Structure 1
Amino acid sequence: MHEKKQASKRRSRGVIVKPLLLGSLLSFAIVSAVVLLLEQGRSHTLFGLPWGAPNGENIALRALIINAIQLGLVCFGLLFRGYDVISRAFRRRINAVYTVMLGLSYGALVLKYFNSTTINAIEQIFGVVGIVGIPATLYALYLLVIVYRRVENRLEDAQELSVKYYNQLITDSLTGLPNRILFQDQLTAKLAEVQKKRKKLAVLFLDLDRFKFINDTLGHRVGDLLLQGVVERLQRVMRRDETLYRLGGDEFILVTECEQKSDGLERANALLHHMEDPFEIDDHELFITTSIGLSWYPDDGEDMETLFKNADMAMYRAKDHGRNNVQQYESVMNVHAVERLQLEKDLRKAIEREEFRVFYQPQIDIDSGRMIGMEALVRWQHPERGMVSPGLFIPLAEETNLIVPIGEWVMRTACVQTKRWHDAGFPHIRVSINLSAHQFTQPSLVSKVRTILEETGIEPKYVDLEITESITMTNVDKAISTMSELTGLGIQISIDDFGTGYSSLSYLKKFPIHTLKIDQSFVRDIPQNSDDAAIATAVIAMAHSLNLNVIAEGVETEEQLEFLRERNCNEYQGYLCSRPLPPHEFEELLANELQMRT
């Protein structure tokens, strides 16, 4: 910074000094020419006036005065030409004064060469005025120096300010990392460097999983502190030749040189490992994972834009594969990216076109074998694709926040259908409806549920809202408050996918819940898998100790059902009983249930 200031000073001095030197030479030449002409004219008579032989010292003094005044005019002219430091009116007055002094000084010089009483008197008057020009010019030059220094200081301040603004432009203000602008410039330069070294360059696109949910739930302050914590943790494990950039939001880029691709994959997996430990933010224990997309120079692109785009696509593939993993770019991803954009476009129109359907899967009491509930599951009947898998469109709906209107529509539709079955004389069983993380954090959730209950006329005790375990642990106090308001409406609440999150038993006993649902991943391999069997057994025992109902999901075999029955699991659902059915088919199950009961 100091070197830049010195260079700037040298340039500004050059702008002034060179013209000033030329102006001085020109001024001296003009005065010398006038004196030479006057000396040549002494042998003649002008206007009938007698010529005299002036003192050489006087002539030299007059020439110096004229030269000083002309030099002052040159200096001010140079200053005013480059910098607008005084008003134009003041500038005109200075020029007028200098012009008068210059005219009087030239007049006094000329009159020195003539002899007469009148001329001598006029010459003395002019001489006095001209003599005054010396201190006036010196003072003016002093002012010139002051003004010049003021301008120079202003230029230095402006330069410092421009550097400050430039640093703000290329640096992320929250984390201090270089941002997208600097990434684009530096990656282009880095590509030229590694090309000479004949090395590979890995571009890692990092995106924090479920950061928006944490940000929306706990507030932007906690979100900002979490981002800073993530950056600090990543910087602790970065190598000297690596650079980390923040693109915005929860997206980061890491650029690193590698000898071979296995080194880059190892590096990416190491970053995932370092993100496993929780972050302590304002008394909140937050778990955050990362999805990483990886592209290679020169295999996946030879310019900055292509490498960035391909790493971005690979990152989305990591999201699609369950998050918290690394995916390398493959050419087939371009096709998937186009399909994804089209799917998102269709998803936005699906609600308007009424393409969604609600299917129902029965929930069975293990002891009696009776149907005591059903889970409402959304399905998408695409006009061209047919039935779109929920595993494909639900994550996309959550990512685009379309899950909120979709979830509200499912809740209303399921309540209307359940009330219709109740009124038709079918068994009064409850309906379980899933709440997404985005829905649960909506400030208007309770009022919307109340409105749906009132408008559909369904009795609240037949409505069970299912929320996932991870939702409750993001902000426990807020979760307890929201669940208490919902149960205050008379509905029930279940914890879905239990065992896959980070629940603390001390929190779990505080939740106003009625049911735990054992995730199907723990049911699928029982009783063969001893670990899954142990987890399922522990969850059932724990739930009973807390006076909670237990439902096992994904039951497909009699062997699984017998295992759950022996451990006193209350209910089950899964393909062993029935797959999810559209309303008209599910109504047949209700009819059979009614016939069994009667």
Structure 2
Amino acid sequence: MISSKNRVKGSKAHYIVFFIIFLCGIAASFAIYLEECRHAYNNQKASGAYFTEKLNDGLTQYITQLSSVVALIESSEGGVSSSHFSRFARSLSTTPKVGFYFAQYVPAGKKYEYEMQQSVLLGNINFTIYPEGERKEYMPLALGYPDKFIYGYDMLYPQYRDINAVIQARNASVIMLSEPTLPPFSDAVSNSIADTFVLRAPIYLPVDVRYYKLTDSIGFHGMVGAYFSVGSLLNQVTPLAGHDLYYRLADISSNNPIWFVDSSAASSWDDGEFDTHYLSVAGRKWRIDTRYLTGISSRINWLLVIIPLLIFGLLALILAFYTRKLFLTYYSALESVNKRIEIDELTGLLSRYQIQRELDKLIVTCQKNNTQLAALILDLDHFKTINDAFGHEVGDKLISKVSKRLTSVLPKNAIVGYLGGDAFLVLLVHNDDQDMPQLNSLAKEVIRKISQSYFVDGLTLDIGCSIGVALYPEFGLDGVTLIKNADMAVYQAKTSGRATYHFYDGEMGRRFARNVRIETRLRQALQKESLELHFQPKVDLITERCVGMEALLRWNDEELGVVSPAEFVPIAEQTGIILPLGDWVFEQAFRHILEWQEQGITVPPIAVNCSAAQLKRIDFLPKLLALLSKYKIDPSLLEIEVTESILIEDAERCAELLRQISHLGMKLAIDDFGTGYSSLSYLKDLPFHYVKIDQVFIRNIIEDKKHAALTHAIISLSHDLGLKVIAEGIANIDQLNMLKEFGCDIGQGYLFSKALGANTMGSDPMIVALNKQDSLD
């Protein structure tokens, strides 16, 4: 039923819908706002990156121009005149504020000669190197553009303000950029603004040209410089990067940054976000901070941000209205549907859902009151046959009649539910007011009543049932476990012959758990091929020679230890593993036969047990033919052993399959004869070559005269039909002598040999004797 709490929640559902959708609108608007902020920030960042890129382009252009001047100096043999230098520099310079100079190295011994030469080149007879004084070497200014300073100034003069930068550039052998400084060779005072940068390039000449030019011992010829102001550089950059960008620049090559440009000197950089970029050129590293003149918020399209909020708000109002209307209709309809959920329409009993809820409630109650609860699962026997024969409509009517009869048999305090299909669940609780009924008597009475005839649509139908019982708290502390254990008990009851009941116990649980573990490990063993085939000899009882061998499956698991085929083969048949397992056995048998033949061992016929599931497959014979073709094995080396059960289930198709196998040249044996139905028509009509007497008869053949008589009769009958008889499980000489008296043909058992591993075949006495006898023959 619908609780009042749920009703209150339903009445507020339209408010919830409105809030959720409107919240989605807020989220959408916020997402768009973030996207707009991100877009504006990315634009600001991209503008800063573009500004930095253009700064780099400008500096690179200066470096290129400087490299051209260096090339001019290096290529001139007789020196470059002042006019020639000025014209060349003018052709390179893109702005009038870029200057170039060349200072030539002069050793002390060549000072006078150099001054005479420069007097001629410059047309100034008064040219001299200054400041005056004798020094080891000089580097006077020789050429310049624009031509606004006096030539001859010695840049190696110890008092020259840029002497350290000049020496550093000379030793670097590459182009070097200075930190912000005063214009070179100017008369600027100490408080002047350092707004100029100098690019210096040392010139080193190769050995082959040093003889006619002035150089030091390692070829240093002089230094070319290019100097420019920050303003001239920015005049090239800012028109390209845009005028709505603040920027500031610092030289951070040393530990103490030198800020030399700030376009927003009137405002603080702490007021808003800015982007930082770095630029490395000619041995110096610059930091460039950029930001827009206006804040990020002023660049957002606020209309685009607000529109989703308006749309979702309107949508929220509309959906809230229809949600309220829908919930009113829903709760009125749910009232009528709720009973169908709790009560099964077909039987009138509690539905599977409701009976499980009742079980959970009863467990809680029994736990509080320390009482016992019994869960009985009733499962109809062969109900599928009625459905298949008369249709589901008749089956449904039969289920309805069974449910009515079931409720009439059970005590009043029993809670009954329909689980679906042909299964019912009955719950019985012991309390102080009423004794728990005797479950054994109740189960018998229910089975007796349910098994009486039913009259349905003019048909008289008979059906039985099996019952499984699980008790709380002994065998289940929750509903799921209790139903599972009761279901196991039903399965055991059906296995025991149906129309009976069974109580779940701990041993059953352990057995089922072991079966599940065996199934899991068996699948893994099959994948890893950790199974083995052993081979037990079959001996002619007259000649005592080995006339064949039976392939027997052996399994020694890492966790489970040695598992008997009697335990794992039935599980394999129930779970379907028997099909890949059977294919593996056939494959291994063929492979071992081929390996033995390659070793020169005479291989007797190998018998392989074949399950009913294998013979039912339409691809059984094609797979067998494929193995014969793959391994090139003579079909006469293979024997197929089948049990009587397959002959009963599908006699006609199985008979045709056995005839085809016999025509291939393989021998056929009917296994475990005498333990099943033992129809004599099988021996008469089907192409069997051997009858194999089960070891249950051989085991007690000496002590039990009835077993001896049956064994004698089977042997005599088989001989009359032209069949040979194999007795398995021969363990002592007395059994052997009696079987010889009866005329048994072939024996198999521990008296002769246990099952042998494939690797021991070459050393087994019987196989060795067989090979010797064949060589004599």
User: How does the TM-score come out when normalised to structure 2?
Assistant: 0.45
Contact 2:683 2:721 in 1 (8 A): no
Amino acid at match of 1:574: G
SS at match of 1:497: strand
Q: Distance in 2 between matches of 1:512 and 1:552?
A: 19
After superposition, the Cα gap between the structure-2 partners of 1:164 and 1:206, relative to the gap in structure 1 and judged at 3 Å, is closer
Give 1:264's aligned residue. Answer: 440
Contact 1:268 1:292 in 2 (8 A): no
Q: Which has the larger radius of gyration?
A: 2
Give 2:677's aligned residue. Answer: 502
Contact 1:359 1:583 in 2 (8 A): yes
Q: Distance in 2 between matches of 1:381 and 1:322?
A: 32
- Find 1:558's aligned residue among 729, 733, 736: 733
Q: 1:166-205 residue pairs with structure 2 within 5 A?
A: 181=353, 184=356, 201=374, 203-204=376-377
Segments of 5+ residues of structure 2 without an aligned counterpart are: 1-323, 452-462
Q: 1:30-41 residue pairs with structure 2 within 5 A?
A: none
Select the structure that is richer in strand: 2
Amino acid at match of 1:371: C
Contact 2:538 2:546 in 1 (8 A): yes
After superposition, the Cα gap between the structure-2 partners of 1:496 and 1:200, relative to the gap in structure 1 and judged at 3 Å, is same
Contact 2:642 2:669 in 1 (8 A): yes
Give 1:240's aligned residue. Answer: 409
Q: Please give the root-mean-square deviation of Cα atoms over the aligned residues, in Å.
A: 5.0
Q: 1:569-580 residue pairs with structure 2 within 5 A?
A: 569-580=744-755
- Give, in angstroms, the shift of residue 299 of structure 1: 3.6
SS at match of 2:484: helix
Q: Distance in 2 between matches of 1:461 and 1:302?
A: 60
1:587 aligns with 2:756: no
Between 1:389-398 and 1:373-382, the stretch displaced more is 389-398
Give 2:701's aligned residue. Answer: 526
- Give, in angstroms, the shift of residue 405 of structure 1: 0.8
Q: Distance in 1 between matches of 2:349 and 2:670?
A: 40
Select the structure that is richer in helix: 1
Give 1:347's aligned residue. Answer: 522
After superposition, the Cα gap between the structure-2 partners of 1:556 and 1:324, relative to the gap in structure 1 and judged at 3 Å, is farther
Between 1:509-518 and 1:443-452, the stretch displaced more is 509-518
Contact 1:315 1:326 in 2 (8 A): yes
Give 2:484's aligned residue. Answer: 309
After superposition, the Cα gap between the structure-2 partners of 1:199 and 1:352, relative to the gap in structure 1 and judged at 3 Å, is closer
After superposition, the Cα gap between the structure-2 partners of 1:248 and 1:479, relative to the gap in structure 1 and judged at 3 Å, is farther
- Give, in angstroms, the shift of residue 555 of structure 1: 1.6
- Give, in angstroms, the shift of residue 289 of structure 1: 12
Give 1:443's aligned residue. Answer: 618
Could you report, residue by residue, the CA deviation over 1:494-529 in whole angstroms, capped at 9, with x for unpaired residues?
Answer: 211122222432344222222221112222111212
After superposition, the Cα gap between the structure-2 partners of 1:543 and 1:207, relative to the gap in structure 1 and judged at 3 Å, is farther
- Give, in angstroms, the shift of residue 484 of structure 1: 2.3
Give 1:482's aligned residue. Answer: 657
Give 1:393's aligned residue. Answer: 568
Q: 1:151-162 residue pairs with structure 2 within 5 A?
A: none
Q: Distance in 2 between matches of 1:325 and 1:557?
A: 41
Q: Distance in 1 between matches of 2:549 and 2:610?
A: 15
Q: Distance in 1 between matches of 2:638 and 2:655?
A: 19
- Give, in angstroms, the shift of residue 375 of structure 1: 0.7
Give 2:606's aligned residue. Answer: 431
Amino acid at match of 1:184: Q
After superposition, the Cα gap between the structure-2 partners of 1:488 and 1:591, relative to the gap in structure 1 and judged at 3 Å, is same
After superposition, the Cα gap between the structure-2 partners of 1:162 and 1:308, relative to the gap in structure 1 and judged at 3 Å, is closer
SS at match of 1:352: helix
Q: Distance in 1 between matches of 2:340 and 2:685?
A: 52
Amino acid at match of 1:241: L
Q: 1:213-228 residue pairs with structure 2 within 5 A?
A: 221=388
Q: Distance in 2 between matches of 1:222 and 1:492?
A: 40
SS at match of 1:369: coil
Contact 1:207 1:315 in 2 (8 A): no
- Give, in angstroms, the shift of residue 355 of structure 1: 0.5
Give 2:594's aligned residue. Answer: 419
Q: Distance in 1 between matches of 2:762 and 2:467?
A: 46
SS at match of 1:363: strand
After superposition, the Cα gap between the structure-2 partners of 1:191 and 1:433, relative to the gap in structure 1 and judged at 3 Å, is same
Amino acid at match of 2:545: R
Could you report, residue by residue, the CA deviation over 1:446-474 in whole angstroms, capped at 9, with x for unpaired residues?
Answer: 11111111112111122111111112101
Q: Distance in 2 between matches of 1:475 and 1:246?
A: 35
- Find 1:408's aligned residue among 580, 583, 592: 583
SS at match of 2:710: helix
After superposition, the Cα gap between the structure-2 partners of 1:405 and 1:244, relative to the gap in structure 1 and judged at 3 Å, is farther
User: How does the TM-score come out when normalised to structure 1?
Assistant: 0.57
After superposition, the Cα gap between the structure-2 partners of 1:240 and 1:508, relative to the gap in structure 1 and judged at 3 Å, is farther
After superposition, the Cα gap between the structure-2 partners of 1:408 and 1:515, relative to the gap in structure 1 and judged at 3 Å, is same
Contact 1:295 1:328 in 2 (8 A): yes
Contact 1:461 1:491 in 2 (8 A): yes
Q: Distance in 2 between matches of 1:445 and 1:382?
A: 29
Contact 1:450 1:489 in 2 (8 A): no
Could you report, residue by residue, the CA deviation over 1:216-270 in whole angstroms, capped at 9, with x for unpaired residues?
Answer: xx9x958999x979x99x9699782299988678x85664869789853994799
Segments of 5+ residues of structure 1 without an aligned counterpart are: 1-80, 84-150, 276-287
Could you report, residue by residue, the CA deviation over 1:518-544 in whole angstroms, capped at 9, with x for unpaired residues?
Answer: 112222111212332233223223322
Could you report, residue by residue, the CA deviation over 1:261-282 in whole angstroms, capped at 9, with x for unpaired residues?
Answer: 985399479969x99xxxxxxx
Amino acid at match of 1:264: N
After superposition, the Cα gap between the structure-2 partners of 1:542 and 1:347, relative to the gap in structure 1 and judged at 3 Å, is same
- Find 2:639's aligned residue among 437, 456, 464: 464
- Give, in angstroms, the shift of residue 357 of structure 1: 0.8
Q: Distance in 2 between matches of 1:523 and 1:473?
A: 25
- Give, in angstroms, the shift of residue 376 of structure 1: 0.6
Contact 1:184 1:304 in 2 (8 A): yes
- Find 1:453's aligned residue among 598, 621, 628: 628
Q: Distance in 2 between matches of 1:478 and 1:265?
A: 46
Q: Distance in 1 between matches of 2:707 and 2:445?
A: 27
Q: Distance in 1 between matches of 2:464 and 2:662?
A: 32
Contact 1:554 1:573 in 2 (8 A): yes
How many corresponding residue pairs? 419
SS at match of 2:602: coil
1:540 aligns with 2:709: no
Could you report, residue by residue, the CA deviation over 1:389-418 in whole angstroms, capped at 9, with x for unpaired residues?
Answer: 223322222222111111101111112212
